[in-house]
A and B are shown apart, each in its own frame.
Chain A
Amino acid sequence: MRATLTSRREHPGRGPGDSAGRSGGAALAERVFRIRETGIIVVLAVFIAVTAGVQHRFLSTSNIQFVLINTTIFALLALGETMVVVSRNVDLSVGSVLGMSAYLSASLFGGHAGLPIPVVFLAGLGIGLGWGIVNGLLVSAGRVPSLVVTLATLYIVRGIDILIVGGGMVTANTLPGAFTDIPKDTVLGIPYLAIAVALAVAVGAYYLRSFRSGRELYAIGSNPGAAVLAGIPVGRRVFTAFAISGALAGVAGVLWAAQYGTVDSTAGTSYELTVITAVVVGGVAIFGGSGSVVGAALGALLLSTINSALYVLGISSFWDQAIAGFLLIFAISIDRVIQVRLTAALRRRSARNA
């Protein structure tokens, strides 16, 4: 069972070299089938086709833009969360960090009119990075389980945010137009922001797939003890994953402020659960060692597509959550069943060959 997982991890998209003696077509089919992302894309395609068949408005440019913009923040959070989850950790603090970054960065405009927008993004990134470093240090140096650390920082960050914000809020009229236009600007009908996040996801995917330190995150998640013995600097890698996750949550906070305009102390509340749902639906194993950033981003896209589809179909948005929950359970159950079957098949095959 472990062996199947490992080989799938170490060669994403490649089967464990067991298709010898089969026709090329079957091997290709098997290979494609085994890529976890294919499953999500199929579900996504079916969903879009059915919805568009019922209601053509669903494929209108404005609706597609709406879905893409809605996805960006969650895709960005999912990118950082994937790095953490792959290393057999979890970051529950992303929603709170997003909230604090959204408020603090947006309130900068209030005090300093004419502040360059990149400075605000840097501020958000810095706030997020700071909390990511706190999480990372507590987990790797303090040897406290990440579930507990980030549960605590979820409370602490939100609490500090509430103390800072008090009863106030940042309103859209204090923000410069160029800032609130960020989610609205498009090129060839595609929002700039979606392209930027897609690029970030691509960079993340390339890093996790091809860089030594990226691969080591998978190794740590597969077997932390073995990773230590293999000479992997586990503490440093896990620390980095948390720092990146925090920094991305900080940037996502600035985007949140740009998109919604009005920021109070509740921004991003319970986002952590949506992000983890997206990540797990996207095929990232909750106990680490397996999954990809692209899958996680597709998971986020699927969730916001469903959200929009319900709206377009005139189904009450109150069905939204139940569907997301069902999808998550369905996804992990299917993964498990396929995994068990694959293991059995591999065992039979190796028994035949022996």
Chain B
Amino acid sequence: MRDRMPWAFRWETALALIVVLIGVIGAAASPDFLTANNMFNLGLSNGEIAIMALPMTLIIISGEIDLSVSSILGMSSCLLGYLWERHWAMPLIFLVIALVGLAAGAVNGLLVTRLGLPSLAVTIGTLTLYAGIADILLGPTTVANFPAAYTNLGVNAVPGTGNAITYSTLIFVVLAVIFGVVLHATPAGRSIFAMGASPEAALYAGIRVKRIKTILFMVSGLVCAFAGVLYTFRLSTAVANNGVGLELDVIAIVLVGGISIFGGKGSVLGTVLGVLAFAGIQNALLLTNFNQEASGVVAGGLLLVSVFLPNTRPLWRGIAARGAAVRGTS
């Protein structure tokens, strides 16, 4: 059966079932769950995390990790506030933010690839450094006088979608398609899997491991800087602690999505399902009057289950084999 239906044994299938289950339970528990309005709220509160999970997927598959994502988001948010307060034109601010995001990613990438430092240590460092730069930029001040034309993008629905789809959801879907195609249907994507599975083999196969990893970190920086702009417009507020701690949510989503922390395994579909599971649980708990700040219990539990279950496969196989043996002898 395993040979005939390999898809049935994939983590994505199990996760899709979990997502459906969350939907069913959520709908049963609260009539508000499967409504357009709730879908809108769901997209609103998870848009940035979901967007940042996409480049993170590629980075983790390539065998690295980027803990600095939420700090890049925060730095970009503060830069937006800082420059807007100094009356810069909005398009110019966007350009500067994009460049800063790329540069922040490049610092991560170059330290990891050229100096050969572990990305875990480097990005804990830049997590603190970039959050520190955000602190320095805005200090205790809050910038909130952004023009409505921009902040409306953060809180309004995309026209013609029945008020269900936020701009951040739309952007996430578009980016997910792009990242999915790049990862699963291009030579660069294949080489990302190769370097995650075995960096040395990838190097000897002529894959430009360092260059591709640096580019991945830069893309992550750019996307996170963009997420910072979305975040700022959604809250209409630029403040130094914007986004603090989101990196853990992003990584949890990616790991729940079945991407191996050791690299070399995973899919963008998994991450998309991970986003749905993560957001669905938080949202369902909110509607059932569960203390929402404590939803970490469920998210953490889901994370544990998602990494623990694949490890029990040898156990299941052992039980199955023993069962077959018993049947054979009787």
Chain B residues lying within 8 Å of A106, measured Cβ to Cβ, are none
The reply to whether B115 and A152 contact each other, CB–CB distance below 8 Å, is no
Question: What separation, in Å, do the CA atoms of A155 and B255 have in the docked complex?
Answer: 14
Q: Which A296-353 residues have a C-beta within 8 angstroms of B?
A: 316, 318-326, 328-329, 332-333, 336-337
The reply to whether B300 and A159 contact each other, CB–CB distance below 8 Å, is yes
Stretch in A62-70, A74-82, A174-182, A270-278 touching the partner: A270-278
Q: Which B78-112 residues have a C-beta within 8 angstroms of A?
A: 111
Chain A residues lying within 8 Å of B299, measured Cβ to Cβ, are 155, 159
- The smallest beta-carbon distance between B46 and chain A, in angstroms, is 16
The reply to whether B126 and A151 contact each other, CB–CB distance below 8 Å, is no
The reply to whether A145 and B300 contact each other, CB–CB distance below 8 Å, is no
Contact of B303 among A148, A269, A318, A328 (CB under 8 A): A148
- The smallest beta-carbon distance between B49 and chain A, in angstroms, is 14
Using known A-B contacts A163-B294, A286-B120, determine if residue A155 contacts B252 with beta carbons closer than 8 Å: yes
The reply to whether A319 and B136 contact each other, CB–CB distance below 8 Å, is yes
Stretch in B183-191, B200-208, B216-224, B240-248 touching the partner: B240-248
The reply to whether B311 and A332 contact each other, CB–CB distance below 8 Å, is no
Contact of B135 among A144, A147, A151, A319 (CB under 8 A): A319
The reply to whether A159 and B297 contact each other, CB–CB distance below 8 Å, is yes
Using known A-B contacts A144-B304, A145-B262, A148-B307, determine if residue A270 contacts B293 with beta carbons closer than 8 Å: no
A189 in contact (CB, < 8 A): no
B171 in contact (CB, < 8 A): no
**0/1 string, A265-289, CB within 8 A of B gives 1:** 1000110010011001000001100
Of the listed residues B120, B131, B252, B304, the one surrounded by the most CB atoms of chain A closer than 10 A to its CB is B304
Question: What separation, in Å, do the CA atoms of A149 and B307 have in the docked complex?
Answer: 9
Q: Which A203-222 residues have a C-beta within 8 angstroms of B?
A: none
Chain B residues lying within 8 Å of A43, measured Cβ to Cβ, are none
A122 in contact (CB, < 8 A): no
Which residue of chain B has the shortest Cβ distance to A316 in the bound complex? Answer: B139
- The smallest beta-carbon distance between B308 and chain A, in angstroms, is 6
The reply to whether A273 and B127 contact each other, CB–CB distance below 8 Å, is yes
The reply to whether B128 and A321 contact each other, CB–CB distance below 8 Å, is yes
The reply to whether A332 and B122 contact each other, CB–CB distance below 8 Å, is yes
The reply to whether A155 and B296 contact each other, CB–CB distance below 8 Å, is yes
Using known A-B contacts A276-B124, A318-B136, determine if residue A148 contacts B311 with beta carbons closer than 8 Å: no
Chain B residues lying within 8 Å of A190, measured Cβ to Cβ, are none
B229 in contact (CB, < 8 A): no
A154 in contact (CB, < 8 A): yes
Chain B residues lying within 8 Å of A276, measured Cβ to Cβ, are 124
Chain A residues lying within 8 Å of B262, measured Cβ to Cβ, are 145
The reply to whether B248 and A333 contact each other, CB–CB distance below 8 Å, is no
Which residue of chain A has the shortest Cβ distance to B302 in the bound complex? Answer: A152
Using known A-B contacts A145-B307, A152-B304, A320-B132, determine if residue A286 contacts B252 with beta carbons closer than 8 Å: no
Which residue of chain B has the shortest Cβ distance to A149 in the bound complex? Answer: B304
B40 in contact (CB, < 8 A): no
- The smallest beta-carbon distance between B293 and chain A, in angstroms, is 5
A105 in contact (CB, < 8 A): no
Chain A residues lying within 8 Å of B56, measured Cβ to Cβ, are none
Using known A-B contacts A151-B248, A276-B124, determine if residue A322 contacts B311 with beta carbons closer than 8 Å: no
The reply to whether B301 and A148 contact each other, CB–CB distance below 8 Å, is no
- The smallest beta-carbon distance between B74 and chain A, in angstroms, is 11
The reply to whether B297 and A273 contact each other, CB–CB distance below 8 Å, is no
A56 in contact (CB, < 8 A): no
Chain A residues lying within 8 Å of B121, measured Cβ to Cβ, are 280, 286, 328, 332
Contact of B307 among A144, A280, A320, A337 (CB under 8 A): A144
The reply to whether B125 and A329 contact each other, CB–CB distance below 8 Å, is yes
The reply to whether A162 and B294 contact each other, CB–CB distance below 8 Å, is yes
Chain B residues lying within 8 Å of A316, measured Cβ to Cβ, are 136, 139
The reply to whether A277 and B128 contact each other, CB–CB distance below 8 Å, is yes
The reply to whether A155 and B300 contact each other, CB–CB distance below 8 Å, is yes
Question: What separation, in Å, do the CA atoms of A320 and B248 have in the docked complex?
Answer: 22
A158 in contact (CB, < 8 A): yes
Contact of B251 among A151, A159, A277, A323 (CB under 8 A): A151
A142 in contact (CB, < 8 A): yes
Contact of B308 among A144, A270, A325, A326 (CB under 8 A): A144
- The smallest beta-carbon distance between A172 and chain B, in angstroms, is 24
B230 in contact (CB, < 8 A): no
Question: What separation, in Å, do the CA atoms of A158 and B248 have in the docked complex?
Answer: 13
The reply to whether B291 and A155 contact each other, CB–CB distance below 8 Å, is no
Chain A residues lying within 8 Å of B120, measured Cβ to Cβ, are 90, 147, 286-287
Chain A residues lying within 8 Å of B132, measured Cβ to Cβ, are 318-326
- The smallest beta-carbon distance between A146 and chain B, in angstroms, is 10
B117 in contact (CB, < 8 A): yes
A153 in contact (CB, < 8 A): yes
Contact of B136 among A90, A270, A322 (CB under 8 A): A322
What 9 A-B pairs are tightest by C-beta distance, nearest first?
A322-B132, A325-B129, A155-B300, A325-B128, A159-B297, A321-B132, A155-B296, A159-B296, A156-B300
> What are 8 A-B contacts with C-beta separation under 8 Å?
A138-B308, A151-B255, A152-B307, A286-B118, A320-B135, A321-B128, A325-B125, A325-B132
Chain B interface residues (CB < 8 Å from chain A):
111, 115-118, 120-122, 124-133, 135-136, 139-140, 240, 244-245, 248, 251-252, 255, 261-262, 291, 293-301, 303-304, 307-308, 311
Chain A interface residues (CB < 8 Å from chain B):
90, 138, 142-145, 147-149, 151-156, 158-160, 162-163, 166, 265, 269-270, 273, 276-277, 280, 286-287, 316, 318-326, 328-329, 332-333, 336-337
Beyond contacts A270-B245, A322-B128, A328-B128: 13 other A-B pairs, Cβ-Cβ < 8 A, are A143-B311, A154-B300, A162-B293, A286-B118, A321-B131, A325-B126, A325-B130, A328-B129, A329-B126, A333-B111, A333-B117, A336-B115, A337-B115
